[in-house]
Amino acid sequence: MATVGAFVDAVILVDGNDLSADMNEVSVDNSVVANGYYNSGSGLADETLFDLLGDTDTVVTVYGEGVDEGNFNGGFSVLTVQSEYSFGGGVGEMLSFNATFESQE
């Protein structure tokens, strides 16, 4: 996979789940690396990302310029394995996370 770049206003779908609101940055190279803020609860980012950790057939779709009605602005999908789901942040800060999806291509 070629280097695509880093996006700030992207629409990010992980196995069909729209996690765009929970992620504040995504970069694409030979892997997809997404950073965001922890959001727990049924059907939210934490449950989705934790359940997919190590899954070998996770589809990640990124629309780098967002999605307008009827226009997908150059999105792409890649078959991945989620290799990382880690947390960070200091005392008194929002709990951030990092999720890495390695390309299977």
Encode pLDDT of 51-92 as tens digits. Answer: 999 888 899 988 876 666 665 566 778 899 999 999 988 888
Q: What is the CATH number of the domain that holds 75?
A: 2.40.10
Give the chain's domain count.
1
Q: What pLDDT does 1 receive?
A: 44
Pick left, alpha or beta for residue 97 (phi over 0 → left; psi -120 to 50 → alpha; otherwise beta).
Answer: beta
Does residue 28 register a pLDDT over 90?
no
Ordered alpha helix ranges (H), 1-105: 45-52
Q: Print the domain residue range for 35.
A: 5-103
What confidence category does residue 2 fall into, taking pLDDT thresholds of 50, 70 and 90? Answer: very low
Q: H-helix or E-strand containing 17?
A: strand 17-18
| Entry pTM | 0.80
